[in-house]
Amino acid sequence: MLEKPLGSLRCCPSRQEAPSVPARSSMALQGIRVLEFAGLAPGPLCGMILADFGAQVMTVDRLGPGNPMWMARGKRSLALDLKQPKGAAVMRRLSRQMDVLVEPFRPGVMEKFGLGPEVLQKDNPKLIYARLSGFGQCGRLSKVAGHDINCLALSGVLSKLGRSSEIPYAPLNLLADFGGGGLTCALGIVLALYECTQSGKGQVIDANMVEGTAYLSSFLWQSRNAGLWSQPRGKNVLDGGAPFYETYRTSDGKFMAVGAIEPQFYALLINGLGLNCDELPDQLSISDWEEMKKKFADKFAEKTQAEWCKIFDGTDACVTPVVNLEEAALNEHNRERGSFITDEDHNVSPRPAPLLSRTPAVPSTKRNPLKGEHTEEILQEFGFSKEEINQLYLDKIIETSKLKASL
């Protein structure tokens, strides 16, 4: 099956043009070889980003039951017992031929396997060794357990999230796991790969979810003295306090998102709602915001989401429908851009971003791999003989899985 997204990779091609899909051999990270140690959310996203943009990513999975193979698009899977010296020896041998290694463990785990950066970079001085963790490679919390919400809390960001009358809440596990963790780690890897072209040397990347999330929130820190956050949480312009930066329920139980911050956009919002600016308080009168929210809510409740879309579509009022995942993939604008792709199992997911003009990502449309599905293939590719592979099976160092045929 041709590995391409549905629709063109070009931005808004004319309807008469045939889709132009670059070959996978022309992608930005083509030729980069990556070992990704299996883990939870952030690591798999980091590896998938690299694979989407052309890297050859091999996931190192544990033997036996493991984590679901999410975000495994474009990867191959090798099942290996690293707790056995022979398994660690296999990994050390593979690492000599790699450009990047991504590990998601707590500090010291890879060293226990004999696979720390000091060892592997001695074998391969150009190796980029990415360490993706919750709290970093040092510090009093570096070796304790934690998840997205804990890292979000320690970054300071969680204190800013939530309604004024409610406790702080985490917006799914997107910010720390994927933004501060996986995406920031991928950025570090690309930076280190570029630097390696200048120096010929690899380096160790300490990517952690606390600092990555804090870095994402730089705007919060650098705007603290500008008056944007002078009110308590949930009472400011951008955190749900302002009536012109809020979501509202429509008559059919759906929602509209409003972001009419600038005066000219706010005027268009007021006009679309059928209100008169001259009869309303000043837009930035904080004492009137709660009353204005009620007024806007009453207006939005008078019409369906579709009716409001007709009113605001094509205007600069900054009013858009709140759509679910299925609706996002079907949205006319997103369809025009080819923003979502469909794999051979008919699963829909976002197209890799950003869109590069000459060497865009051409993500695989094949199904996700089974754990250990490519164990033999990878080992043979990197110089292991059939006899060596058979012995690894006998020693229970590796295992493989094959897709069962449907009868």
Q: What is the CATH number of the domain that holds 165?
A: 3.40.50.10540
Domain boundary, last residue among 322, 348, 375:
322
Within a domain: residue 384? yes
**Are both 146 and 44 inside the same structural domain?**
yes
Asked if 99 contacts 127 with a C-beta cutoff of 8 angstroms, the reply is: yes
Closest CA to 297 of 324, 347, 258: 258
Examine the domain organization and report whether 128 and 187 are in the same domain. Answer: yes
**Do residues 91 and 115 lie in contact, with contact meaning Cβ atoms separated by under 8 Å?**
yes
**What pLDDT does 14 receive?**
43
Q: Are residues 251 and 113 in the same domain?
A: no
Q: At 237, phi and psi to the nearest 5?
A: -60, -45
What string of pLDDT tens digits covers the 407 residues of the chain?
A: 233 344 444 455 443 343 455 666 689 999 999 999 999 899 999 999 999 999 999 999 999 886 677 899 999 999 999 999 999 999 999 999 999 999 999 999 999 999 999 999 999 999 999 999 999 999 999 999 999 999 999 999 999 999 998 999 999 999 999 999 999 999 999 999 999 999 999 999 999 999 999 999 999 999 998 988 999 999 999 999 999 999 999 999 999 999 999 999 999 999 999 999 999 999 999 999 999 999 999 999 999 999 999 999 999 999 999 999 999 999 999 999 999 999 999 999 999 999 999 999 999 999 999 999 999 999 999 999 999 999 999 999 999 987 765 54
Rounded CA-CA distance 322/289 in Å is 22
- Tell me, yes or no, whether 25 lies in a domain: no
Strands 100-103, 33-37: parallel, antiparallel or unpaired by DSSP?
parallel
Mark whether 150 and 257 lie in a shared domain.
no
How many secondary structure helices (H) and strands (E) does the chain include?
A: 15, 12
Number of domains making up the chain: 2
One domain for residues 124 and 212: yes
Determine the pLDDT at residue 6. Answer: 41
Question: Does the residue 289 lie in any domain?
Answer: yes
How high is the pLDDT of residue 401?
Answer: 87
Domain end position, chosen among 302, 322, 342: 322
Q: Is residue 130 part of a domain?
A: yes
- Residue 402 is predicted with a pLDDT of 78
Last residue of a domain, one of 293, 322, 351: 322
Q: Are residues 261 and 379 in the same domain?
A: no
Structure tokens at 371: 């754990």
Same-domain pairing of 158 and 89: yes
Query: Would residue 7 count as lying in a domain?
Result: no
Report DSSP state, residue 186: H
For residue 318, the model assigns a pLDDT of: 98
Catalytic residue (one of 52, 148, 177, 239):
177
Catalytic annotation on 316? no
Residues 82 and 215 both lie in one domain: yes
- For residue 148, is it within any domain? yes
Position 177 in a domain: yes
| Helices within 289-385 (DSSP H only) | 289-300, 305-312, 325-330, 332-337, 375-381
> pTM of this prediction?
0.91
Give a yes or no: residue 359 inside a domain: no
Bridge-partner residues for 208, per DSSP?
A: 133
Residue 131 · residue 206 · CB < 8 Å: yes
Q: Given this model, what pLDDT does residue 328 score?
A: 97
391/293 same-domain check: no
Query: According to the model, what pLDDT value does residue 91 have?
Result: 98
Give the separation between CA 181 and CA 42, rounded to whole angstroms: 5
State how far the Cα of 242 lies from the Cα of 322, in Å rounded to an integer: 18
Is the same domain home to 147 and 208? yes
Does the active-site annotation cover 177? yes
Strand partners, 101: 35, 129
Same domain, 153 and 258: no
Are 160 and 110 contained in the same domain? yes
How high is the pLDDT of residue 64? 87
* Whole-angstrom distance, CA of residue 81 vs CA of residue 143: 22
Q: Which residues contact 76 (CB under 8 A, 6 or more apart)?
A: 56, 57, 58, 59, 369, 373, 374, 377, 378
Cα separation of 333 and 348, whole Å? 16
Three-state secondary structure call for residue 33: strand
Q: What does the pLDDT read at residue 354? A: 97
Q: How many CB atoms lie within 10 A of CB 76?
A: 18
Residue ranges making up the domain that contains 259 = 245-322
- Predicted confidence at residue 65, as pLDDT, reads 80
Contact assessment for residue 49 and residue 188, using Cβ atoms and an 8 Å cutoff: no
pLDDT for 3 equals 37
Calpha distance 320→300 (Å, rounded):
12
